[in-house]
Amino acid sequence: MSTLSNLMKLNKPITLQPPPLIKTDGTTKTFPSITIQELDIMFLDFSAQKYVTARIMPCPKTITLWSGEEYDAIGDWTQKQAEQRVLELLGNEPTKVLEKLFW
């Protein structure tokens, strides 16, 4: 596994509202919204398993950039290619995509 970290400036700020967390005792913990002006990304390349993911802070889950045949096709990817792929996956509604990466 190899890693690469990067800060990626956004054209405009994004405000994320982490969903509430329901504890085992049934109580709910809510979190304040988070406004970000750049994406703090860690790219993780799992060459043996043939996939690349990105962890975008403050989201705890990762997003898969390439896997399987796509992984083989991209070969030795560059940081620019990974950033472009993140933007492609975030699409026109990055807030919704990022909010799904919480829990």
pLDDT-derived band at 11 (thresholds 50, 70, 90) equals confident
* Residue 82 forms part of a structural domain: yes
Distance CA 16, CA 18 (A): 6
Query: Within the chain, where are the H helices?
Result: 69-74, 79-90, 94-99
The answer as to whether 65 is a domain residue is yes
Domains in the chain: how many in total?
Answer: 1
Tell me if 73 is assigned to some domain.
yes
Task: Answer yes or no: is 29 within a domain.
Answer: no
Residue 55's domain comprises: 2-11+39-95
Residue 34 in any domain: the answer is no
Please check whether residue 16 lies inside any domain of the structure: no
Confidence band of 82 (pLDDT split at 50, 70, 90): very high
Residue 20 lies in a domain: no
**Residue 103 pLDDT greater than 90, yes or no:** no
